[in-house]
Structure formats: C-alpha cells, structure tokens
C-alpha cells in the first residue's frame, strides 16, 4: 500500500517548536525534543510532511515577513541535517480581524496543499496542540490528533457539543506518529510485505 498521496499536516508552535509566543528572532526558535525521530518515522512511512501555521505576528507588525521566512529556512535546514525533508510550509500572516480565508481553523491552507501535491485529505492527518487545530483538520476532512503537551488543562470528558473530538490524543509527536503507523494501515502492510519476502 502506498501512502504517497497522504499527508501529515503539522501545526508549528507547540507542535514542532516550543511555543513561547510570537517568535520574531531565530534564537527563540527551539525544536521540541523528540520531534525529529517522530518526523523521520512519518517520512519513512511515506507520508508527505506539511507545516501549516498561523503567524498573525506578521500582520500585527511584530514579526517581519522576511524574518519569518528566515526562521522557516533555518527549520528546514535543521530537519535536513537529519534526513527529514519537509514538503511544504504554509503560513497565514493575517490578523484575525482581517477575516482572511487562510487562517486556521479554516481549511484553506490544507486544501490548497492537497490540490498542489495530489493529497487525499480523508486519508491524511492533522497534528496540533490547540482545539483550533483539531477544528482545522475536521474542516478539511482529515483525521486529527491533539497533542496534550501544551494543553494539559483541557477536560476531555466535558460534555460539550462544540468540542471537536480528535481521533486521537497524544502526549507528544512520537506517540502521535506511532498511532498513525497503526491507524493508517502502514504497519499491517509492512508486516505483510515482510511475510511475502520470507516466503520467497
Ligand atoms: Mg500550536
Ligand atoms: Zn490568512
């Protein structure tokens, strides 16, 4: 089974790097421990990796757009050092008041990437640390994973119709990747392939 037409849409702040508010300097960009092996696993499974991030600091004049691009360039380089190729990074630079079409939880960034890269959204996953990320994934018909690292206070049992139940709740990106390995059927097909190889 090929997963070439399947994507992992990754939130940035609080999912890949420490969320310390608006990051307007490269020195303040720090990857979360365990992120690299998790992305490597997803990449080895064959998924395309996309970063989808709201960066309203640009629209607010807190982050220069050129600086945002430099930070992303640095992130790409850091991942490349370990053999992880990101397929694309999309960001929304707008302020909420601008009522743009791209700011999460609207699904436009995901839908545009899906069109450009031939991605089957229903077989793809969104991973993020906020409820709005879960909503974004649902709005794009993806499966969703909520990371608890920054959200330990969220009450998952709350009986609220508005609560967008994620398909999975994970403590970190590593356990999210392991869940995807099973949920996507990739693990099964890997086992099957190994079985075929043993017989021949
Ligand atoms: Mg986040
Ligand atoms: Zn936007």
> Which listed ligand is nearest to 54 at the C-alpha?
2
> Which listed ligand is nearest to 95 at the C-alpha?
2
Domains and CATH numbers, the chain: 7-199 (3.40.50.1000)
State in Å: Cα 186 to ligand 2 middle.
34
Tracing tokens 């945002």 back to the chain, one arrives at: 68
> Which listed ligand is nearest to 19 at the C-alpha?
1
- Which residues are annotated as catalytic? 11, 13
Tokens of 188: 């099964």
State in Å: Cα 178 to ligand 2 middle.
32
**Distance between CA atoms of 194 and 200, rounded to whole angstroms?**
10
State in Å: Cα 114 to ligand 2 middle.
17
pTM of the predicted protein model: 0.91
> pLDDT tens string for the chain (200 positions)?
567 799 999 999 999 999 999 999 999 999 999 999 999 999 999 999 999 999 999 999 999 999 999 999 999 999 999 999 999 999 999 999 999 999 999 999 999 999 999 999 999 999 999 999 999 999 999 999 999 965 555 545 555 556 788 999 999 999 999 999 999 999 888 888 888 766 55
State in Å: Cα 15 to ligand 1 middle.
6
Instruction: Give the closest residue to 10 by CA, choosing from 82, 87, 62.
Output: 87
State in Å: Cα 123 to ligand 2 middle.
25
């Amino acid at each position: 089974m090929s997963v070439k037409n399947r994507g992992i849409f990754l939130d940035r702040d609080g999912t890949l790097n420490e969320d310390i508010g608006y990051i307007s300097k490269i020195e303040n960009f720090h990857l979360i421990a365990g992120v690299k092996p998790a992305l490597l696993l997803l990449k080895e499974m064959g998924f395309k990796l996309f970063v989808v991030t709201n960066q309203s600091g640009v629209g607010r004049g807190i982050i220069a757009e050129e600086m945002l691009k430099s930070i992303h360039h640095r992130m790409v380089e850091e991942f490349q050092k370990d053999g992880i190729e990101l397929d694309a990074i999309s960001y929304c630079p707008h302020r909420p008041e601008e009522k743009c079409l791209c700011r999460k939880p609207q699904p436009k960034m995901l839908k545009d990437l899906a069109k450009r890269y031939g991605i089957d959204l229903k077989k793809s996953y969104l991973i993020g640390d906020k409820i709005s990320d879960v909503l974004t994934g649902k709005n794009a018909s993806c499966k969703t994973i909520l990371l608890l690292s920054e959200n330990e206070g969220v009450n998952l049992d709350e009986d609220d119709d508005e609560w967008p139940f994620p398909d999975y709740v994970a403590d970190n990106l590593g356990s999210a990747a392991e869940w995807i390995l099973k949920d996507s059927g990739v693990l099964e097909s890997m086992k099957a392939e190994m079985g075929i190889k043993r017989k021949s």
